[in-house]
Amino acid sequence: MTTRLPPLLDEAILFAHRGARANAVEHSREAFELALRLGATGLQADAWSTADDQVVLDRTGLVRRLPRRRAIDVNRSDVAAWLSLDELLALPTDAPLWLGVAETGTARAIVDLAQDAEAADRLWLAHADLEVLAEWRDLSPAIHLVNATTSSSLPFGAERRAAELAAARVDAIALPESEWSGGQVTLFHRFEVLAFADGAHYERQIARVIDMGVDAVSGDHVERLVAVAATFA
């Protein structure tokens, strides 16, 4: 069947949230490789810098042993079990990479690594703060930027935020799956801002947001994303 509302992209990107985390350890090489084998068309991860300027992937960026420390306070060798961004970029795929970046200084290291790997155009860097994203716009014209937020964090409403994102050349807004409506998607599309639905883990959620024309959807269950998207092909 066709979507009720068309996306701005040719078809919605299917982002595997931290890899195929429903079937493998999240943020592991196995999880990302399995996600690609299952048909994910994008990979979603959380990125952190270490003290020796490496970029690693983990949900919280906290070393889970006492004393608990942040990634930025340890060297890469201290978190050897964590996958590095270098290793993720080396996987044989050109799938988009949606990277949640909480520490603003990490963005420059990410872009440098991606440029070295000739993969800057695959990056979708996400942050909640619009001012931070506006600064990141100058890092590279090739990268994509995502305002990862919630409706309650838009004090002046969705239309004002859509206009601000367009003016700052931020490519997309990511809201939780439950907060999207067809009207919201249409509004952001009117400003040529892509609509990303985050955290769609069940078939009915995935179908709902694809039907309303979102440009990307992320979830833990890659096989569900792929199966539902196939019904709209």
202-222: per-residue pLDDT in tens?
999 999 999 999 999 999 999
Average pLDDT over residues 93-97: 98
Q: Where are the domains of the chain?
A: 13-230
CA angle 204, 207, 213 (to 5 degrees): 145
> Residue 67 — pLDDT band, cuts 50, 70, 90?
confident
Lowest mean pLDDT of 56-65, 190-199, 211-220, name the range.
Answer: 56-65
pLDDT for 77 equals 94
Is the overall model pTM greater than 0.85, yes or no? yes
Instruction: Assess whether pLDDT exceeds 80 at residue 64.
Output: no
Instruction: Assess whether pLDDT exceeds 80 at residue 184.
Output: yes
Picking from 26, 61, 62, the residue whose alpha carbon sits closest to that of residue 44 is 26
DSSP per residue, the chain: ---SS--SSSS-EEEEETTTTTTS-TTSHHHHHHHHHHT-SEEEEEEEE-TTS-EEE-SS-EE-SSSPEEGGGS-GGGGTTSPBHHHHHTSS----EEEEE-STTHHHHHHHHHHHTT-GGGEEEEES-HHHHHHHTTT-SS-EEEEE--GGG-TT-HHHHHHHHHHTT--EEEEEGGG--HHHHHHHHHTT-EEEEE---SHHHHHHHHHTT-SEEEES-HHHHHHHHHTT-
Are 27 and 58 a contacting pair, CB within 8 Å? yes
Instruction: Assess whether pLDDT exceeds 70 at residue 30.
Output: yes
Are 45 and 29 a contacting pair, CB within 8 Å? no
Instruction: Assess whether pLDDT exceeds 90 at residue 49.
Output: yes
Measure the N-to-C terminal CA separation of the chain; round to a whole number of Å.
Answer: 7
pLDDT for 66 equals 58
User: CA-CA distances (angstroms) from residue 64 to 30, 58, 70, 82?
Assistant: 21, 11, 9, 12
145-163: per-residue pLDDT in tens?
999 999 999 999 999 999 9
Per cent of the chain over pLDDT 90 is: 95
Are 153 and 176 a contacting pair, CB within 8 Å? no
Answer CATH for 13-230 from 2.60.200.20, 3.40.50.300, 3.20.20.190, 2.70.170.10: 3.20.20.190
Mean pLDDT of the chain: 96
> Residue 233 — pLDDT band, cuts 50, 70, 90?
confident
106-137: per-residue pLDDT in tens?
999 999 999 999 999 999 999 999 999 999 99
Residue 140 CA, chain-centre distance (Å), reads 18
